[in-house]
Amino acid sequence: MGSNLIGSPYAICKGSLLTRNQYDRDGRCIFELWIKSNEANIQLIITDERPVCFATLQNVKLLQTTSTALYPSIEITQVKLKTFADEDVYAIYVNSLSEFYQLRKSATQQSIELLEADVKPVDRYLMERFIQLGVTFTGVEVSSKGNYQRFEQVKVKSSREAFPMLKAMSIDIECDENGYLFLLVFMLLPKTVMMRILLRSSTMLKILPQVLKLITRYPTLNGYKVNARFCNV
């Protein structure tokens, strides 16, 4: 973990982010992160964050007249942001994911434009902290079960330091709504190999068999991170 404080009331630890989740508990939004350190599997529980989206002043006024009474926890605050049209931007906070989804649905039904309402709150939490893989965190260890440790009162930030060795491959396929492929990324830590590959394929279904061929074609890449960019022809 990069620290010998594990097991202490307040630990400073490091590791690699594996997964993230979000859910409601007792009317509050909860973020759950799973971290792999050199010593253990770690569950981080974050309870002090709120779902947020944004709107211009005109849409905020519409929202206040139609939705404020429906969402008692709603808080609207002007922030130091501007739209591309140079309009002032307001942040709209609620306590729970349930309220967030209801607010988003209500706004859509009333043609009220919300900005960045399609961003998952837990993803926003990670993006605002520039977290991709490496994580440094502080928190209170509340339990240590057989195969993982659980921390609460957690604060996290990005880390560029070394991570524990991971023994798994991740495949990321990016395409548009018509199935046209933009990017295919293989991740086999810890090393990196950059590759640009041209394939005659236009849809996801057509590309998958070629993906499997590619994996078996380069067995020596085991243990590497392979970034494979594809172009349609």
Percent of the chain at pLDDT exceeding 70: 63
Q: Which of 42, 38, 64 is nearest to 144 (CA)?
A: 42
Q: Is 58 helix (H, G, I), strand (E, B) or coil?
A: helix
In the block, which residue shows the tokens 């969402």?
Answer: 71
Convert the pLDDT of each residue in 56-96 to its tens digit: 999 999 888 876 667 777 899 999 999 989 999 999 999 99
11-48+124-158 belongs to CATH 3.40.50.300: no
Q: Which of 201, 180, 140 is nearest to 13 (CA)?
A: 140
Per-chain mean pLDDT for the chain? 77
Convert the pLDDT of each residue in 169-198 to its tens digit: 666 666 666 666 666 666 655 554 444 444
Q: Which of 205, 228, 162, 196 is nearest to 2 (CA)?
A: 162
pLDDT of residue 6: 45
* Domain residue limits, the chain: 11-48+124-158, 52-120, 169-231
Q: Is 230 helix (H, G, I), strand (E, B) or coil?
A: strand
| CATH number attached to the domain at 52-120 | 3.30.70.2250
